[in-house]
Structure 1
Amino acid sequence: MKKLIIINGPNLNLLGKREPNIYGSLTFTEFFEAIKEKYPNVQLEYFQSNVEGYLIDKLHEVGFSYDGIILNAGAYTHTSIGIGDAIKGIETPVVEVHISNTFSREEFRHQSYISPNAKGVILGFGLQSYDLAVQSFL
């Protein structure tokens, strides 16, 4: 059984309320329950924090024992050299995920400190981006 974790960064706890025209109206908890049901043979966990250091700590914690990490670092994608370095320092492969197409948004969102160290990047497919990331590990 594959052991995967979805790690979400800042403001993703507001999914379902925050800018529904971009992020949709489904909460992440609702989506997570559905994706766990879709993949009963995958041990799927979830972690969210608005704090950069907690995200780095979680990457260190799971980065040598899990089969895969699905990471949506939110705005930290574009600002956090520390998260990029944490991914470089662990063994577990990371798929970078974004709900929106970051290249169709503000220019500062076109840069990622995660992508150079990620197994792959999936963006712009709404919450389905997470589903596609799970499939990439199967």
Structure 2
Amino acid sequence: MRGFIFVSTALIAAFAPVTEACVQRYVEYSREKPCSLGNDVIDQECRTIARDLRNYGISHGKIYGGDVDGKVDCRACDGTPSINYCSCTVTAWRFREWMHEPPLSQRPKLPNGWEMVFPDNGNYGWVDRGKEGTVNCD
């Protein structure tokens, strides 16, 4: 009887549908910005980075999920600096961490001047939002 229960349990575990949980991750990009350049240009470039990364993820089995967005943060040009720095934080709200991610060299080309902040962190630049970032997949 124990053998039957063990085999039954093993079969159910092997063939039952798997509940998938996704995580929230972000990747950060930065660039120098002349103070004479308006933030609207930077905002548009960040939206382009997020859109291209979302489309790339969709073309690779929706690895980043369907909900990817970008948020810009620029230092103020107070005083006399002629250049400040801006960051574009792209968040994948439904990242499928169990899927194989293609190498960085295959990601879409960034707009001129943008660079990834943490390319060598072992996660292709992605940073985990932690335990609170676990969500249902879309």
Structure with the greater relative contact order (CA < 8 A, sep ≥ 6): 1 or 2? 2
TM-score by length of 1: 0.26
TM-score by length of 2: 0.26
